Amino acid sequence: MSKYQFITTERKGKVGIVTFNRPEAMNALNEQVTTEVTDALMEFDADHGIGCMILAGGDKAFCAGADLKWIASQDFESAYLTDLAAYMDQVAGLRKPVIAAVRGFAFGGGTEISLMCDMIIADSTAKFGLTEVTLGVLPGGGGPARLASAVGKAKAMYYVLTGKWFDAAEAERIGMITKAVEDGKHLEVAMEIATTIANNPRLAVLACKEAVNEQAETPLIPALKLARRLFHGLFSTPDQKEGMAAFAEKRKPNYKEY
C-alpha cells in the first residue's frame, strides 16, 4: 500500500513519475498534497537509479490551484509563522531534471509548481493562470517572480495583475512552456524527453542543469522572498477574506472601497 494519500508514484526505467491523485478536488493543493508531492520528488532525486522525473496530473486537471477551504482559513500570523507555500520551493532546488506533463487546469499553484519544473510539456487542453489577485492575494508559490523570469516583465505583469488564464498555445508562444502537443500526448512526449535525459551521463546532466539555473535564476531569490512576505501580509486584509468567501459562495465579491 502506498504511503501517500493524494499522489501516486511509479518507476519506468530510469524515470520517476509522480502523479497528483486527488480527483475529487481537481488535485487542489493543501498542506498534505504539497508535502507529498515535494517529498516524493525529493525521494526520486536521491534515488541513484533515477535520472529524470515527471510530474503529472489527471485528465481534467493537472492541479487546479490551492484548496480554498484550507487556504482561506489562514491569517497573517499563521501564514508567516509556518512560512506558508515555502516547502514546495524545494521542487525548484532538486538536482535532477523535472518535467511537468500538463493536461487540463493548472491554475494558481498548478501554474506555480509547473514553473518550478525544468520543462513543461502541455497538451491542447491545458489552461494556465495566476488568478490569485481576484481573491485578494498574490501568488504565494513564487509565481510572479518565476513567470517574469520565464516570459519577461510585460507579459508577467499582464497575467498576474488581471488574473486571466491562457492556453498551451499562448504559453508556448510567450516562452513559458517547452512544448505544446496534441490532446493526450503530454505524457508520451514528456516520457520520451525524460528517457533521453536519464540515459545521458548523470554528472553531465546535473552540471548542465546547475549551469542553466545559475544564469537564469540568480536574481530570482530576493524576488521570491519579497513576494512570499507580501503574500503572507495579504491574509490580514478584508479583501482576501471577502474574495475567498465570495468564491466559495459562488457570488460576485464586494471589495472594500479605498
Q: Which residues form the catalytic set?
A: 66, 109, 112, 132
For residues 117 and 97, what is the distance between their CA atoms, to the nearest angstrom?
7
For residues 180 and 189, what is the distance between their CA atoms, to the nearest angstrom?
10
- Tell me the three cell numbers of residue 128: 494556465
- Alpha carbon of residue 158 to chain centroid: 19
**What backbone phi and psi angles, to 5 degrees, belong to 59?**
-75, -40
Q: Among 152, 120, 115, 149, which residue's Cα sits nearest to residue 130?
A: 115
Residue 110, CA distances (Å) to 30, 102, 132 in order? 12, 9, 12
For residues 255 and 245, what is the distance between their CA atoms, to the nearest angstrom?
11
- Alpha carbon of residue 132 to chain centroid: 13
Residue 181, CA distances (Å) to 127, 169, 187, 195, 196 in order? 13, 9, 10, 18, 18
- CA dihedral sign, ordered 46, 49, 52, 55: negative
In this structure, the chain runs to a length of 258
CA-only gyration radius of the chain, Å:
18
Strands 98-102, 105-107: parallel, antiparallel or unpaired by DSSP? Answer: unpaired
